[in-house]
Each structure stands twice: as structure tokens, then as C-alpha cells.
Amino acid sequence: MLVFDLGEICQYSDGRDLLRDALVEHERLLWELEYLAKEPQRDSNSDITNRLNLIRAQILLFERLMIGEKIDLLVVLIRYYAEILSRPPEEK
């Protein structure tokens, strides 16, 4: 009879859900950066607009970097729990 640790299953599931959410957020940031890069430049106050766009782009890139690190950690965590769950019960 196989015995599964419900706590480990829940942690694996939670990690998978967090990874999905992080990937969605990462995709949103990429879309926003692409939109910002393609947005037509306005002639009036273009210097101010360019500076604001540059600041916004830097913020988005930083957020993307943080999300990327979170994704890396979640992948490691999910692999760890998947490995534990794939072992026979006596090895746990």
C-alpha cells in the first residue's frame, strides 16, 4: 500500500500554483516592456516623456529580474518535492 504525505503533496501543489502565477506576472511585464518600447513618441514634452518612459522601463526590468529569481527558486522547490513524492515510501 502506498502512503503519501499530504503535507508534501500540498506543498508541491502550492509551489506549482505560485510558479504559474509568477510566470503569468513575468509575461505581463514582458508585454508591458514591449508596449513601452513600441509606443509612439509624442512631440510635445518629448524629453519629459522619454525620461518617464526610461524610468518606467527600468522599474519593469527590475521587477522582471525579481520575478525571474522567484521562478528559479520555485522550480528548484517543485523539483525537490517531486523527487520526494516519486520515492517509494520506505525511502522517505
DSSP conformation class of 42: P
Query: For residue range 53-90, what is the model confidence (pLDDT) as tens digits?
Result: 888 889 999 999 999 999 999 999 888 888 887 877 66
**What is the mean predicted confidence (pLDDT) over 20-43?**
83
Distances in whole angstroms, Cα of residue 10 to Cα of each of 4, 15, 37, 54, 86: 11, 8, 41, 42, 15
Cα–Cα distance measured from residue 63 to residue 59, given in angstroms and rounded to the nearest whole number: 6
This model's pTM is above 0.75: no
Nearest Cα neighbor of 84 from 20, 1, 11, 18 is: 11
